[in-house]
Amino acid sequence: MVEKKYPIIMLIDDNEIDNLINQKMIEATAIADKIYTHTSAKSGLEFLHNMEKLDLAEQILPNLIFLDIDMPLMDGFQFLDEFEKMGALVKKRCKVIMLTSSINPQDYNRAKKYSTIKLFLNKPLSFDTIKDIDV
């Protein structure tokens, strides 16, 4: 069990196996009470847009979003471009962590240009990686 808790975590990755592995690791560390998973960036954005409109947004929006880079139709960077256009509540509440298998330094440097990215981590999540998260 880890000390820092994030009540709600969202995983956005087109690879269902990666989502499952990361979900199980998050559950094993008990870092979150709820985990939302999306297999596309568009689906994740639609969810955030819909939740933003609700009166209960603060209780439903995720505290952390683990975001993959390489996804079809809309990649992680396109997601971030749209995410940065969202309202203040979403941007304040949702901390984004880039979770990727990319070892390309260009991806890392590009991610650093987004103020919404709090960490850049490599897949899959591990116990040590999770316990060191503090955003």
Architecture per CATH, 8-131: 3-Layer(aba) Sandwich (3.40)
> How much is the average pLDDT of 10-30?
96
Q: Which of 106, 104, 95, 98 is nearest to 125 (CA)?
A: 98
Specify the 3-state DSSP secondary structure of 76.
helix
Task: Say whether pLDDT at 2 is over 70.
Answer: no
pLDDT in tens, 91-118: 999 999 999 999 899 999 999 999 999 9
Domain ranges of the chain: 8-131
Percentage with pLDDT > 90 across the chain: 85
Q: What is the pTM of this model?
A: 0.94
Task: Say whether pLDDT at 1 is over 60.
Answer: no
**Per-residue DSSP letter, 99:** E
* Residue 44 to residues 2, 12, 129, Cα–Cα distance (Å): 26, 7, 23
> How much is the average pLDDT of 55-74?
92
